[in-house]
Structure 1
């Protein structure tokens, strides 16, 4: 018979709400200085989808910080859509850290919404997007802005209707112009917003399909029913370059559904993917064109057609000499293939072919990256680093580390991070068992992997990749742990220990918080399960504490062991409980089709028993959320 405390927890699994049981269910006495809800919700954080940017001389690092204390009212998504403001730029500021002196400053000073910083090739200017020129409105139209390093002045550049594109801003080779994403000229801001909101039908064949699902807003001008799963017109945009001296705009591409785009390493060429159509209704597979063009000409070249990519179309990269483009197929109907094609056109050459890493097509596929010489491509499959020869002579698993998964640093840099310029590459490592992360070198001749260091942290922000310096010798990345909120760290070419270069949330540092460890148990089906057991702040051995069990069906939430607050979102910060005397269990669980509640109980109940057996959890005070 199961212990009596497990029966109490069963009810909470069924109702999926936080309930604390037992005759002594009152909250424990507060510990000194527990975290408050306001402290957690108002703390700043490194902005999502906003990679840092090194100045060309490696002296400065620009990055984006979301100042959550400025978020005093909700902003309608339609306002952001109409004004071109990125949701991850709301209440955000551009900061710059001096990597020599250690000083840092807020360039934009809490005015407007600011994001996407990018240094000019000579380092004299920093471009970014902002609505700071608007007065008296919660959100205004986004514009290109520039910070002049010499004069310390901020100025708006022209009045082009720019909009977020998840790519940021990019300077051209001459240092005079910035490549930006724009509202379609033929639609304007209002027309684009109406198109996306109204879900106007998209062209495409529905031959052979008899069942249709209609969804549209009849109140929107020109709207009509569409059977697409996603309104693909959200990708419709123009691309253009803005002269930072004159403020003039030259449109390069008009009105296409551009999913992703990338400036070449020479800063004179651009590649982009155009979403042409769904391959088959209901599958979630989309077909793209891959297009290349020189910024100085008006003639684009379609270098590949009917390419299977995922919805965001970003799994392509430029070669170091900007003469070739590599792309990796993705999506539910795609096999895992990599092709190389000349930027001037020709038949794409397949250089790697594998079965799908995930048969359901749900696993994110990373883009291939080049070696410094441009002779090999590297990509990751199931935690193993693969290498493919660009001449098509073969592809194979190249480097692995037992009990670890390897990860390419900054795929959007398009080349492997190699501070020694081709002798070795540096990759990130993750241990699924211990949840520890680290960095390792890979010998690019032999594939031998050497672990540089490993630590109890988590690397990476929400969609924010690391950034590699222009000379390829440094990398800046986000790191956090259970007791310290996310900050930026820089690793130099000597590969010595990284150093912290930001202090994003000072109010949350140096606090007495709850620590955690991984525990294991056997499910009722005999399978090894894991969970993160969080001890109350100021834990005393031998004392029993009320236990809150967090469950998310079918997921491995123990992977949050090294997240600050043990959760992705600030509103779920579990230190709010730990600093008030609660223990917590982040319990992994397995689900099978048709028996979710039974599977949850089989997975989680023995974990609750384990927390009690360890002498941490009070069996009379257990709740599940």
Structure 2
């Protein structure tokens, strides 16, 4: 049953204390279960209330639970909507009198609406396959939402199943047949349905609500819809249903009448992405995206555009801003399911606010819709902002994190005004835990290129001692490490290691030229030499034991790690996680493999095998002298399970020290949002491996 709580609760209150750690204890892998994650913050139109998601771990059920919490005025946060399922994606009605959200309390995710005056939340939708993103109409009378049409249930009998088969068993065992180029996606079990999400509109009232749609039949996977100020039009981004568009990942912006009296109409037409549209009160459209003209790039810079509602008058506001609009840092202390808004109009519609990564920080910027220089907003905390929500009166809410503080809710009275922390829930189950601040380190690489990094030292660091060091390499490779909270690094620091983070060439946050410099060479020796240079700089500080160096990376970082141990024997232990080690088999095997041609490779592997083999770390296994731990998720569709298995098997065939850890039921995002028990077990396996190889502790695997 849904409950609306009428009395404030203590700011540090935890709904679930499973996995709590006693004060002062070292941060062990199991402490991951005690973290609480805050996401999807939404400030009410009048700025008086802030609602957000709080995710916690149910250890007994090995799952996550999401509830909605509320901050009213100057009061402490309190649990606001709780139920038997997950509650997420809170969205205020335009007048702030109602709150809509998605809940699984009655099975499939559906839209529920709660009157802020009190009472029970009532279900608005009843879609057989559940509901995705949604948006209120400007007058609050309707809600537009995404839903996938129901697929026919598997039938017993016939040539593909025994006549008495149970439908639930059939769903797991019947053949999966598709004609789609993109027939699976990492994190989605099985094949993608042949049916695509479509756009619907429903009256926002509790009984007998009329439903219109689908409005978008035939358009591939629309984005979350956006209303025009007069409520007549809906805007959404989608990929045209053509082979060329799928190969290029080309998306356009569409509009369709909200009453269903028109076909969807593309209002943009260019090579590249048009995504994440928002609308000002005057009807001006703002969107993010990039132009994908030739020459192709592996790292396209995300720009900010404005245009009229019919698509005319398109202008780029960030052409002189050499950073990605909307970028945030990677972390293992946030999920990817419900990232909030990263671009917003100011109330007067004259400026756009947006987040962007720069030199390992996520910053807030402002751009005048009339053009001119993009400016950084002052009085923003140093670390990682994830979202930005703006009220009609200019008040703002965000979630912010730093190396020693996971994400919490912060509010401000307006652009450029001070921010105040409003929650202290992320570490509420970890009182007195010892966390390490990051220490910035810089060096010059072989060609004079500046390379930035950070050292995460043990909480009781003593400069007179010698410490083992583990170099971590981020994925992407077009991503960045920075000054935010990473549970994994804090666990290793608490265990006595110094963790070295770095952003070699190919990383974002340093301009497009730096990011795109590895386009046709990744993993390659240039980025490898950047990484060795930052290790040299760390060793030169005098407190690193050069005999006890480790190296680790996941995804593109795993590929670079495999490349590194094939190029040098300076490391005493390595972790290669979810890598691409054989590009020839990767491109036709990955869920998005077709994108890599021509953006990462100039041609397909069967046409240019030499280039693929030249860049494949598996060709360097003869050179490997470093013991290697390989971690791979069996349900990883991005860097598929055979990649990790190939690398491990090749090492073992040559009699080299290697260990393999395979995780069933998990995807490419195991370390970020896999099952809680597997995420803890993964950390335990990693810690045991480095303890064994760098600290000479006995094998307890």
| TM-score over 0.5 for the pair | yes
Partner of 1:363: 300
Partner of 1:321: 282
- Match for 2:214 among 227, 235, 253? 253
Kindly state the Cα deviation for residue 223 of structure 1 after the two structures are TM-superposed: 3.2
8 Å Cα contact 2:52/2:90 also seen in 1: yes
Secondary structure of the corresponding residue to residue 45 of structure 2: coil
Shift of the 484–131 alpha-carbon distance from structure 1 to 2, 3 Å rule, reads same
Q: How many residues are paired up? A: 480
* Separation in structure 1 between the aligned mates of residue 388 and residue 436 of structure 2, nearest angstrom: 28
Partner of 1:417: 345
Please say if 1:171 is aligned against 2:163. no
Kindly state the Cα deviation for residue 473 of structure 1 after the two structures are TM-superposed: 0.7
Q: Deviations over 1:582-610 (max 9, x none)?
A: 21111333568578475565333332232
Kindly state the Cα deviation for residue 481 of structure 1 after the two structures are TM-superposed: 0.4
8 Å Cα contact 1:485/1:508 also seen in 2: no
8 Å Cα contact 2:43/2:49 also seen in 1: yes
* Separation in structure 2 between the aligned mates of residue 270 and residue 376 of structure 1, nearest angstrom: 12
* Separation in structure 1 between the aligned mates of residue 368 and residue 249 of structure 2, nearest angstrom: 37
Q: What are the residue-to-residue correspondences of 1:441-456 with 2, within 5 Å?
A: 447=372, 449=375, 451-456=377-382
Partner of 1:235: 196
Please say if 1:587 is aligned against 2:502. yes
8 Å Cα contact 1:547/1:618 also seen in 2: yes
Please say if 1:33 is aligned against 2:25. yes
Kindly state the Cα deviation for residue 62 of structure 1 after the two structures are TM-superposed: 1.3
Q: Deviations over 1:254-286 (max 9, x none)?
A: 544342222223444322345442342873344
Q: Deviations over 1:131-152 (max 9, x none)?
A: 213xxxxxx2222222232224
Shift of the 623–97 alpha-carbon distance from structure 1 to 2, 3 Å rule, reads same
Shift of the 118–563 alpha-carbon distance from structure 1 to 2, 3 Å rule, reads same
Partner of 1:347: none
Greater fraction of residues in strand: 1
Please say if 1:304 is aligned against 2:266. yes
8 Å Cα contact 2:34/2:429 also seen in 1: no
Please say if 1:532 is aligned against 2:449. no
Shift of the 376–408 alpha-carbon distance from structure 1 to 2, 3 Å rule, reads farther
Please say if 1:55 is aligned against 2:19. no
* Separation in structure 2 between the aligned mates of residue 303 and residue 376 of structure 1, nearest angstrom: 9
Partner of 1:18: none
* Separation in structure 1 between the aligned mates of residue 94 and residue 131 of structure 2, nearest angstrom: 22
* Separation in structure 2 between the aligned mates of residue 601 and residue 328 of structure 1, nearest angstrom: 32
Shift of the 495–543 alpha-carbon distance from structure 1 to 2, 3 Å rule, reads same
8 Å Cα contact 1:546/1:618 also seen in 2: yes
Shift of the 362–472 alpha-carbon distance from structure 1 to 2, 3 Å rule, reads farther
Partner of 1:97: 71
Secondary structure of the corresponding residue to residue 379 of structure 2: strand
Partner of 2:92: 119
8 Å Cα contact 2:457/2:498 also seen in 1: yes
Kindly state the Cα deviation for residue 508 of structure 1 after the two structures are TM-superposed: 4.4
Partner of 1:156: 123
* Separation in structure 2 between the aligned mates of residue 408 and residue 43 of structure 1, nearest angstrom: 26
Moved more, 523-532 or 472-481: 523-532
Shift of the 619–436 alpha-carbon distance from structure 1 to 2, 3 Å rule, reads same
Aligned-residue Cα RMSD (Å) equals: 4.1
Please say if 1:46 is aligned against 2:35. no
Partner of 2:228: 264
Q: Deviations over 1:13-39 (max 9, x none)?
A: xxxxxxxxxxxxxxxxxx952112222
Partner of 2:482: 561
Kindly state the Cα deviation for residue 229 of structure 1 after the two structures are TM-superposed: 6.6
8 Å Cα contact 1:143/1:161 also seen in 2: no
Q: Deviations over 1:509-554 (max 9, x none)?
A: 7532122222122334554323211121122232222212213478
Partner of 1:66: 55
Kindly state the Cα deviation for residue 408 of structure 1 after the two structures are TM-superposed: 6.5
8 Å Cα contact 2:317/2:372 also seen in 1: no
Secondary structure of the corresponding residue to residue 81 of structure 2: coil
Shift of the 222–547 alpha-carbon distance from structure 1 to 2, 3 Å rule, reads closer
- Match for 1:244 among 192, 202, 205? 205
8 Å Cα contact 1:162/1:180 also seen in 2: no
Partner of 1:499: 420
- Provide the TM-score with structure 1 as the length reference: 0.65
Shift of the 510–33 alpha-carbon distance from structure 1 to 2, 3 Å rule, reads closer
Partner of 1:344: none
* Separation in structure 1 between the aligned mates of residue 438 and residue 491 of structure 2, nearest angstrom: 14
Partner of 2:472: 550
* Separation in structure 2 between the aligned mates of residue 564 and residue 412 of structure 1, nearest angstrom: 18
8 Å Cα contact 1:425/1:442 also seen in 2: yes
* Separation in structure 2 between the aligned mates of residue 517 and residue 302 of structure 1, nearest angstrom: 52
Kindly state the Cα deviation for residue 305 of structure 1 after the two structures are TM-superposed: 6.9
* Separation in structure 2 between the aligned mates of residue 365 and residue 424 of structure 1, nearest angstrom: 18
8 Å Cα contact 1:42/1:69 also seen in 2: no
* Separation in structure 1 between the aligned mates of residue 342 and residue 55 of structure 2, nearest angstrom: 27
- Match for 1:107 among 62, 80, 90? 80
- Match for 1:576 among 491, 495, 498? 491
8 Å Cα contact 2:46/2:393 also seen in 1: no
Shift of the 499–376 alpha-carbon distance from structure 1 to 2, 3 Å rule, reads farther
Q: What are the residue-to-residue correspondences of 1:298-447 with 2, within 5 Å?
A: 298-304=260-266, 307-308=269-270, 314-318=275-279, 320-322=281-283, 330=290, 334-335=292-293, 359-360=296-297, 362-363=299-300, 365-366=302-303, 368-369=305-306, 391=313, 405=323, 407=325, 417-418=345-346, 421=348, 426-428=353-355, 430-432=357-359, 435-439=360-364, 447=372
Partner of 2:563: none
* Separation in structure 2 between the aligned mates of residue 66 and residue 106 of structure 1, nearest angstrom: 12
* Separation in structure 2 between the aligned mates of residue 597 and residue 450 of structure 1, nearest angstrom: 35
Q: Structure 2 regions of 5+ residues with no counterpart?
A: 1-22, 155-170, 185-191, 329-338, 506-517, 553-701
* Separation in structure 1 between the aligned mates of residue 256 and residue 34 of structure 2, nearest angstrom: 44
